Amino acid sequence: MNRRGAVTSIAVGAFLMFVRMGVVLAAGEDIDEVVTLENDSVRVALLTFPPGSASGEHVNPEPELGIVLEGELTLITPDGREVLGPGAARWLAPNTTHDARNEGTAPVKLWALLLKRCN
């Protein structure tokens, strides 16, 4: 596997861990996950964060991509706190400590993409 493939694989794995860990909540409601595609190369999931929910601070070994569809997602990383609205997309490098939170009053819908490998 080349360097790009290894980085992509790591990124996808990290994002998948984020998706799987997305059930740690502040308000007692679960983050809903609908997996629309999963195979050896990719996992694509639609996440819905109820108001007051959070993924919990975590680190993924792979990079991850998130795209906000609705609502405002607060992303907390070592670079600071950022509020992402509809249409915003963020790529997190491998091993980036982060927490995704819905601090608003409306649900947040987020596409989560994990690239397990690129061949």
Count of other CB atoms within 10 angstroms of residue 78: 7
Position 118 confidence tier, pLDDT thresholds 50, 70, 90? low
Q: How confident is the model over 47-68, as a mean pLDDT?
A: 89
Reported as a single tens digit per residue, the pLDDT across 19-48 is 444 434 444 468 999 999 998 877 889 999
Reported as a single tens digit per residue, the pLDDT across 66-98 is 999 999 999 999 999 999 999 999 998 878 899
Count of other CB atoms within 10 angstroms of residue 14: 24
Query: H-helix or E-strand containing 73?
Result: strand 73-77
Distances 94 to 11, 30, 34, 43 between C-alpha atoms, Å: 6, 25, 24, 16
Which superfamily, per CATH, for 3-115? Answer: Jelly Rolls (2.60.120.10)
Domain map (residue ranges) of the chain: 3-115
Judge whether 105 and 36 are in contact, CB under 8 Å.
no
